[in-house]
Amino acid sequence: MLRPLAGRHRPAPTRTAAPPSPARRRLTSATLLTALALATVPLAGAAAMPSLTVGPTSGPADKPAAGVRAASTPTPAPATPSRARDLSPAIELPAAYVPATSCDEQAKPGTVALAALLRRTYPGTSTAITRPCGTDALPTTEHYDGRAVDWFASARRPESLAQAESAVAWLTGPDEQGVPAGNARRLGVMYLIWNDRIWSSYRLSEGWRPYSGCAARPDPRLDTPCHRDHVHVSLSWEGAMGRTSWWTGRVASRDFGPCRTPDLTWAEPYAAPRARPCPVLPRPATPAGATPLLGALVRYSGLPLGPGSRNPSVRVLQQAVGTAATGRFDTATGQALTDWQRGHGVTPTGRTDPATWRALLAANQPAPR
């Protein structure tokens, strides 16, 4: 029986460009259960960071320690990404850890550009960026706000392994000017997870570190949660918005993204750069005696839902406003929500906004004893 891992990231389901082989796509039931059991990331606070099992530094930042290794077969030296402009000596500071506080299922321009750069450099590979919010046990992931790329590569195939290690070494090692992790800094890379290891810009001096005990668990059924079949790249907001020097030639200011309020679980979607860190806030608590519906409303509170939304949070909203719980935000859902908003003194927009979520929470509070 496989024990659940302590890691927190799972790859997004929607892919771009050539799909990986069926063997890479297929999750066994054991892997799915393992992934669903992953621990969670705090929703807010720059001090929070992805879960990992920290051990001794595994070596230089540009040389990830061995995880699962493909059979030794000579392969040509892989290419590395090429830049489109001359870069000035000025460079961004290593990215701080800024977790996802909002849910906005739109791939951000810098994330899209990085995914395209990887596919262009390594033809035939594929990528995924967004994931519908609330579709798994994770409370937050940069896939939810369009800041993470999963680039599909296999540590069990020599050519694919060589490509992945070439790419991560290019990101985390010295750039052409000798700056440690220079390419990662210019792209706004926040952290990488690949083949049983994690590398973080905000812990730059530690290099690659063990990830969630994966190195001691080589079972192929754990290849997805241990990131042996894909490289995960999470970006800062300045990187995700394409404002960093790799793309513009100008050093980007640090951007801390949207901040949530104490009473809602999710912040509003990204609207503008924010130069100051968000306050560290605890997750809203479900009141004692709450119904399952109220508990679910607390979990999803703040999510922007409207026509086209399709995830478990829509089903909860439909239950709250008294319409068929299909999980799809259709015309009937919009009308039911509009009617509910009118009946509860909320501007009738037919979409969820902070005022609507607060009214939904208030309307479902336990009766006083």
Tokens for 295, please give them. Answer: 């508990």
Q: At what angle do helices 292-300 and 354-363 cross, to 10 degrees?
A: 160
| CA–CA distances in Å: residue 53 to residues 208, 210, 214, 226 | 12, 6, 9, 12
234-271 pLDDT, tens digit each: 999 999 999 999 999 999 999 999 999 999 999 999 99
pLDDT at 277 over 60: yes
**Tens digits of residue pLDDT in 136-175:** 656 789 999 999 999 999 999 999 999 999 999 999 999 9
**Structure confidence at residue 10 as a pLDDT band (50, 70, 90):** low
The answer, as to whether pTM is greater than 0.85, is: no
In this prediction, residue 56 has a pLDDT band, given cuts at 50, 70 and 90, of very low
* % of the chain residues with pLDDT over 90: 70
Mean of the per-residue pLDDT values of the chain: 84
Element containing residue 245 per DSSP (H, E): helix 245-248
Identify the helix (H) or strand (E) that includes residue 231. strand 231-235
What is the per-residue pLDDT for 80?
A: 87
Ordered by where they begin, the domains of the chain are 15-76+84-248 (no CATH), 292-363 (1.10.101.10)
Angstrom distance (rounded) from CA 12 to CA 48: 22
SS (H, E, C) 126-195: CEECCCCCCCCCCCCCCCCCCCEEEECCCCCCHHHHHHHHHHHHHHHCCCCCCCCCHHHHHHCEEEEEEC
Per-residue pLDDT band for 30 (boundaries 50, 70, 90) equals: very low
Instruction: Kindly state the average pLDDT of the residues 22-31.
Output: 37
Structure-model confidence comparison of residues 202 and 35, the more confident one: 202
How far is it, in rounded angstroms, from Cα 222 to Cα 219? 6
Q: How many Cβ atoms from other residues are within 10 Å of residue 178's Cβ?
A: 7
Matching residue, tokens 């870069």: 87
Give the pair of three-digit tokens for residue 121: 């450099």
Parallel, antiparallel, or unpaired: how do β-strands 15-16 and 231-235 relate?
unpaired
Nearest to 102 by CA among 265, 234, 313, 311: 265
Which pLDDT tens digit goes with each residue over 101-124? 998 889 999 999 999 999 999 999
Indicate the SS3 state at residue 197: strand
Q: Which pLDDT belongs to residue 87?
A: 81
User: What are the percentages of helix, strand and coil residues in the chain, rounded to 5?
Assistant: 30, 10, 65
pLDDT at 88 (0 to 100): 81
